[in-house]
Structure 1
Amino acid sequence: MSVTNALHGLSHQARDAKSWPFEQARLLLDRILRLRLTDGERDLAASLIGEGKAAEAVATFPALLKPVVFETGYGPSGLPHLGTFGEVARTTMVRVAFRALTDDAIPTRLIAFSDDMDGLRKIPPNVPNGDELALDLDKPLTVVRDPFGTHASFGAHNNARLCAFLDGFGFDYEFVSSTDCYRGGRFDPTLLTALERFDAIQKIMLPSLGEERRATYSPFLPISPRTGKVLQVPTLERNLERGAIVFRDEDGEQVEVPVTGGGVKMQWRPDWALRWTALEVDYEMSGKDLIDSVRLSNQVCKVLGGTPPAGFNYELFMDENNQKISKTKGNGLTMEEWLRYGAPESLAYYMYQSPKSAKRLYFDVIPKATDEYLQQLDAYNRARAEGANGPAIDNPAWHVHHGAPPEKGSPVSFSLLLNLVSAADASTKEILWGFIRNYIPGATPESEPLLDRLSDFAINYYEDFVKPSKRFREPDAKERAAMADLVARFKALPVGADAEAIQNEVFEAGKAAGFEPLRGWFQALYEVLLGQSQGPRFGSFAAIFGIDRTVALIQRALAGELVG
């Protein structure tokens, strides 16, 4: 089923959905109705949409045919990163929820905006030809030479990487370049309004600045006709008739440039307000660190004659030491690192979870996020198979897959795969699949594509993180007796015993040995047999690894062969 078809007929469920994308979608719908319709029209339109008659509402009120504009921002001084993915993924979740809420009758657009007219203020680390790049400092990113030699400019190179990045995840978006908007005239009417209302903008911005900055601040950053640099200099004069400003160029001469046609760029907070106004943005979210910037930009937006967009501030990600993740510091995870160890779906799930709560973004969150995603997908598909009253649109899998989750997940958890790789020393996927086929007769990489992908991730994660940190220990007397008992119980199991029967014997061995609570028994199994303090459901592990192999593993541990 296509995403578009999957979103029809869901307005009744969407109206009562509790997940945060639907909460945001309802707030956005209220905003759209408030701005576009009169009081009487708004009540009728809201009633029709609530009754599942969004198409009728749109036919009755043509103002609703104007697309609802979602926006995300990108600074192309660096490559796309996890924050870029998170913002586009979360915004897309709200967009899809809005489409479901309105039965996809009100058009929507998602703009991925690149602030590529910003001046290059410092040389990014880890780029080639940095010495040459230094010659272009302070010039717009779409003028700065491309250090990689593949595009017309550094900005064009990173913009291409952004589009390839978003395309690779299947996002539906429209790329918009700041340079194109400034130079192509798209921003011209709003820039002239900003020139006319210069003093009102200054009144908003100056109190937010330090004393030294206030003395030279202007919302307009002129582009020097001589050097091509984006200059942070005071505006000396304004000429409304010519639509121009006067400033002192780097050589000391006073120069007049038009604010239109790419003659200037605005400071970033007024620039944010400029694009909201000129592009008529309805929704944009941002990080918690930008709360004050959003407040100021909202005020400037109103001065420019626009209406600030709806949205919310999400919490920031922290590294393993609970320090804020920083591109400059290079702490935390990169996109490439997550995608070496986890599926994109697991990353989207992690972004979905509690966006207003700070979360650690480090390697050890990947297995847990992966298994939680798999559990949610299984729950969604069980509800679908049982004929539940419509899809469970509050299930995270619904949001991760934009309203159309796949009908099949993985029959094996990621944590179980990790422990299978560990116990079997499965250095290749072929070895791993040998065990999987024994556990799931007839299974192939083609019939279980998600499981096949997870196998690659599990091997990579094991080799890089689990294997170097494995620490086996000898069992104590109590544990040794319980494991010997477990060996006897396993040998007595009938051929073909399933995971549940095996798990029951594990429980019984632990109880008979006096483990209370049983958590200590399972931890002992993991530490003695797998060299780690946590692991999967042991019955499932033994079922897929094989009873005979599990017995042999326990006997090797009892003989002291795993400690060394």
Structure 2
Amino acid sequence: MADLRDVAMDSKAWPFQEARALAKRYEKAPPEKGHVLFETGYGPSGLPHIGTFGEVLRTTMIRRAFELISDIPTRLICFSDDLDGMRKVPDNVPDQAMLRENLQRPLTSVPDPFGEFESFGHHNNAMLRRFLDTFGFEYEFISATEFYASGRFDETLREAARKYDDVMKIMLASLREERQQTYSCFLPIHPETGRVLYVPMKEVNAEDGTITFDDEDGREWTLPVTGGHVKLQWKPDFGARWAALGVDFEMYGKDHSTNTPIYDGICEVLGGRAPHHFTYELFLDETGQKISKSKGNGLTIDEWLTYASTESLSYFMYQKPKTAKRLHFDVIPKAVDEYHQQIRGFKGQEPVQQLANPAWHIHGGQVPESDLVVPFSMLLNLASVAGAEDKATLWGFIRRYAPDATPKSHPGLDAAVGHAVRYYNDRVKPHKTYRMPDVSERAAMEEVLAALDEWQGEADAEALQNMLYAIGKEHRFDPLRHWFQALYEVLLGASEGPRFGGFIALYGIEETKALIVKALRGDLAHEEPIDI
């Protein structure tokens, strides 16, 4: 362990870089609370999206890296700001009229439009926890509603009343003049309507720990800041939460980065120490727009898991967190195959390479073996030419290609076969377009057909690939990738695909010959996928 720790202290992998920066926080003495606290925040105003998952995953990766280089115990808290008032109705949930009637009420006071839980906030919290549990995260869940009502936040709220002017000074400097006139860091929850009120304060009594304000009807109220009668605006809440819990690390998206001095300043005013931060770039949908819980654009966790494994999603999240990435269905096959490339290479690597391998961070150092003897992209193309409606169709080809593989002996492969069938039928089949070959492409494909007619021995993937290379060069495709692109477009109805020699070996020489004949005859460009 000591040797691996030494390697980790020099690793350039981003989780170790962040872990080392965090470790400097306690170079002189360990934390008085006895642990380093990681936190992730969640705003349950809509169904959890994949970006929420990404925060917990990436924080966990840094936590695991920290545990390798430090002996200080760690905790991870997932905090849900479910006392927040519902400011708008999400587009992707039922019973919109009912939700509109409950605008500005805390999310845990809004009825569940799905009719399954105590409230909309409870529903979304349950969704988040189910997603996180699917991935086996170790975390503690805290609901803001319970946090405020239970008294755990009371001392920090009283301190906010005592330091009200200092908190307001930080906030007012960030606001436009017209907003400054009505802003308060305290948001009272109306005792009668239950709505979260955005009203100016008439008085903040530091000694009594109360606020006085007029509601929308002009009636004056005085409420204690404790016990869940009042909540903090979201920016002050960020910093106050850090102070109350003693948070050491929190990451958030680039859209929060300009607020970092506000969060830090309020945390310090309230007696806390600002945590170490990590800012990541945002996820975009296929059009380049930021994904949003309320819009429901981009991919959900359930959608990804319909077509691929949890580990492939973790691999996607590991890659370049400070670079904006498009998160849509087309990235899934590449993520699956690259993840398996990483775990196949792990055991043969030196420790410095292993700690830089995404697989180490996905699996906390306990990296499994890959049983994906057929790449996912190959399974998709096989599903395409076979018009596969179920796993049995693909397994018929796989057994010939890899006789020792069975669904029981290769469960990862079997799961990938099921994912490939669903992905093909849902995402590929509706958009598949074949084309006819041009004159030079036709001549080259006719030569492939002749070479396969004369093929002797086993269908060796590398030998078949070399044959295709030679024919492409002979027919002067420049660059050579145009030749393989033609094979994909004419024979598979796609613009890209796997190594074609491997595809022939999997699909079968006789079957590939029949496919080429149909393509040259023009059948594929005018018919549904062939029925095998």
Q: TM-score range by the shorter chain?
A: over 0.9
**Aligned partner of 2:396 among 434, 440, 459:** 434
Instruction: Note if 1:310 corresponds to 2:267.
Output: no
Contact 1:381–1:408 (CA<8 Å) still a contact in 2? no
CA positional deviation for 1:252: 1.8
CA positional deviation for 1:456: 1.7
When residues 257 and 272 of structure 1 are mapped into structure 2, their CA distance, relative to the original with a 3 A threshold, is: same
**Aligned partner of 1:254 among 210, 216, 220:** 220
Q: Which residue of 1 aligns with 2:19?
A: 25
Q: Residues 379-528 of structure 1 correspond to what in structure 2 (within 5 A)?
A: 379-383=345-349, 388-389=350-351, 392-528=354-490
CA positional deviation for 1:64: 7.5
Partner Cα distance (1:427, 1:146) in 2? 37
Amino acid in structure 1 at the alignment position of 2:58:
R
3-state secondary structure, aligned to 2:9: helix
Instruction: Note if 1:331 corresponds to 2:297.
Output: yes
Amino acid in structure 1 at the alignment position of 2:307:
Y
Q: Which residue of 1 aligns with 2:4?
A: 10
Partner Cα distance (1:482, 1:189) in 2? 78
When residues 64 and 484 of structure 1 are mapped into structure 2, their CA distance, relative to the original with a 3 A threshold, is: farther
Instruction: Note if 1:117 corresponds to 2:83.
Output: yes
Contact 1:490–1:505 (CA<8 Å) still a contact in 2? no
Deviations 1:501-542 (A, max 9, x none): 111111122222222332121112111111222111011101
3-state secondary structure, aligned to 1:393: helix
Amino acid in structure 1 at the alignment position of 2:290:
K
Partner Cα distance (1:255, 1:556) in 2? 80
CA positional deviation for 1:362: 1.6
Contact 2:11–2:352 (CA<8 Å) still a contact in 1? no
**Aligned partner of 2:38 among 62, 70, 73:** 70
3-state secondary structure, aligned to 1:16: coil
3-state secondary structure, aligned to 1:109: strand
**Aligned partner of 2:173 among 183, 207, 217:** 207
TM superposition score normalised by structure 2: 0.95
CA positional deviation for 1:475: 2.1
**Aligned partner of 1:267 among 201, 223, 233:** 233
Bigger Cα displacement from structure 2, 323-332 vs 416-425:
323-332
When residues 452 and 235 of structure 1 are mapped into structure 2, their CA distance, relative to the original with a 3 A threshold, is: same
TM superposition score normalised by structure 1: 0.89
Q: Which residue of 2 aligns with 1:94?
A: 62
Bigger Cα displacement from structure 2, 220-229 vs 490-499:
490-499
Bigger Cα displacement from structure 2, 11-20 vs 486-495:
486-495
CA positional deviation for 1:9: 6.2
Q: Which residue of 1 aligns with 2:105?
A: 139
CA positional deviation for 1:229: 1.9
Q: Residues 32-43 of structure 1 correspond to what in structure 2 (within 5 A)?
A: 32-33=26-27, 37=29
Deviations 1:314-365 (A, max 9, x none): 1111222222223333332222322222222111111111111111112211
Q: Residues 308-387 of structure 1 correspond to what in structure 2 (within 5 A)?
A: 308-383=274-349
**Aligned partner of 2:257 among 282, 287, 291:** 291
3-state secondary structure, aligned to 2:37: strand
When residues 33 and 522 of structure 1 are mapped into structure 2, their CA distance, relative to the original with a 3 A threshold, is: same
Deviations 1:27-77 (A, max 9, x none): 01111325xx2xxxxxxxxxxxxxxxxxxxxxxx6x578111111111122
Identity %: 56
Amino acid in structure 2 at the alignment position of 1:562:
L
Contact 1:471–1:531 (CA<8 Å) still a contact in 2? yes
Partner Cα distance (1:484, 1:122) in 2? 61
3-state secondary structure, aligned to 1:404: coil
Partner Cα distance (2:512, 2:66) in 1? 51
Deviations 1:437-486 (A, max 9, x none): 11111211121111111112211221223222222222223222222222
Contact 1:74–1:84 (CA<8 Å) still a contact in 2? yes
When residues 357 and 389 of structure 1 are mapped into structure 2, their CA distance, relative to the original with a 3 A threshold, is: closer
3-state secondary structure, aligned to 1:208: coil
Amino acid in structure 2 at the alignment position of 1:299:
G
Contact 2:91–2:295 (CA<8 Å) still a contact in 1? no
3-state secondary structure, aligned to 1:113: strand
**Which residues of structure 2 form unaligned runs of 5+?**
527-532
3-state secondary structure, aligned to 2:24: helix
Deviations 1:359-417 (A, max 9, x none): 1112211111222112112111443xxxx448701101111223222122411111111
Instruction: Note if 1:195 corresponds to 2:161.
Output: yes
Amino acid in structure 2 at the alignment position of 1:95:
R
Partner Cα distance (1:514, 1:411) in 2? 33
Partner Cα distance (2:499, 2:426) in 1? 23
Q: Which residue of 1 aligns with 2:47?
A: 79
Residue correspondences, number: 526
3-state secondary structure, aligned to 1:392: helix
Partner Cα distance (1:156, 1:498) in 2? 56
Partner Cα distance (2:511, 2:442) in 1? 18
3-state secondary structure, aligned to 1:563: coil
Partner Cα distance (1:133, 1:476) in 2? 58
Contact 1:65–1:106 (CA<8 Å) still a contact in 2? no
Contact 1:64–1:106 (CA<8 Å) still a contact in 2? no
